[in-house]
Every structure is written in structure tokens, then in C-alpha cells.
Amino acid sequence: MSPSSRKSGLRLAGAAALVLLAATASAQEAAQVRLTLKDHRFSPAEPTAPAGKPIAIEVTNLDSTPSEFESKTLRVEKVVVGGGKITLNVRALTPGRYRFYDDYHEETTEGFLVVK
């Protein structure tokens, strides 16, 4: 197999896998988790979500300054401007505690998504 055909085959396989994953995720209704940020604090600081279902995390920033919701274990990050609202769609998770934080204030602003 030439390098170019290897590359094409790999891209096709990767695209097919992504489509399959997306289809599987969208087939299930997402669990909703709502968070607010005020005075650089998440509320609730330890929201819960069911295991095995996709999760939609809505973050409303009540502060006037921007924040960046980030989580290495959830594998998502997104900036939410002051007074703004974002929604992050997370894959179905296994039970556990998933840390999230404001990347602009990591040492003071964190929480845990508890998946049961």
C-alpha cells in the first residue's frame, strides 16, 4: 500500500469511527447539569449525573469577567464570557468523580461532577 492510500484509508476509518460515536451518543437523551459561576465559585460545587448517559453541562457566568470551564477528565474546555452561558456536551461516563475548574482561576475555582 502506498503512503497516500494508507493515509486515505486511515482518514476514512477515523471518520467512520467518529460518525459511529456521534450517532451512538445522540441516540441517547443527555442528562442535564446546570452550574453557575458567581464570585468565581461554582454552584453547585459537586453536581451529580447518571452514569452511562451523555451529559449536557450548562454553565452560566454571573460574574462580569470571563472564565474558562475546563476538565482534563471530562476532556472539554470552553470560554464563557462575563454574563454569558455555554453548554458542553460530554460523552457517557462511568461512575466516579470528575474534576472541573475555571482555567483562569484554577487554584480557587473548582468542582467535581459526581457520576453515579
Partner 1 sequence: MGNAIRARRAARLSAIACGAISAVAASGTASCAQTAQDPADQAVLSAPLPDPFHELETKYLFGFTEGADIGAEGEQSVEFETTAAFQRREGRYGEVEQEIEYEGVPSQFFGYELSAHVSGYDIAGVAGAADAHGVGFSGLSTELRYLVIGRGPGSPIGLTLIAEPEWARLDDFGQPIADFSSAFGVVADTELIANRLYGAVNLIDTPDVAKSPGQSWRRSSTTGATTGLAYRLTPKITGGGEVEYYRAYDSLAPRSLQGQALYVGPTLHIQFTGQTMLAAAFSSQVAGRATGEGYGLDLTDFPRYRANLKLEFEF
Residues that bind partner 1 (CB under 8 A): 2-4, 6-7, 10-11, 14, 17-18, 21, 41-42, 45-46, 70-78, 88, 90-91, 93-99, 101, 103, 106-112, 115
Task: Pick the closer one to partner 1 by CB: 3 or 29.
Answer: 3
Task: Pick the closer one to partner 1 by CB: 32 or 38.
Answer: 38
CA distance 67 to 99: 16
Task: Pick the closer one to partner 1 by CB: 65 or 73.
Answer: 73
Contact criterion met (CB below 8 Å) for 39 and 102: no
- Burial category of 76 from C-beta neighbours within 10 Å (exposed 0-12, middle 13-18, buried 19 and up): middle
Q: Give the residue among 73, 40, 75, 43 at the shortest CA–CA distance from 58.
A: 43
Least distance in angstroms from the C-beta of 23 to partner 1: 13
Largest pairwise CA distance in the chain:
58
Least distance in angstroms from the C-beta of 40 to partner 1: 10
Task: Pick the closer one to partner 1 by CB: 5 or 64.
Answer: 5
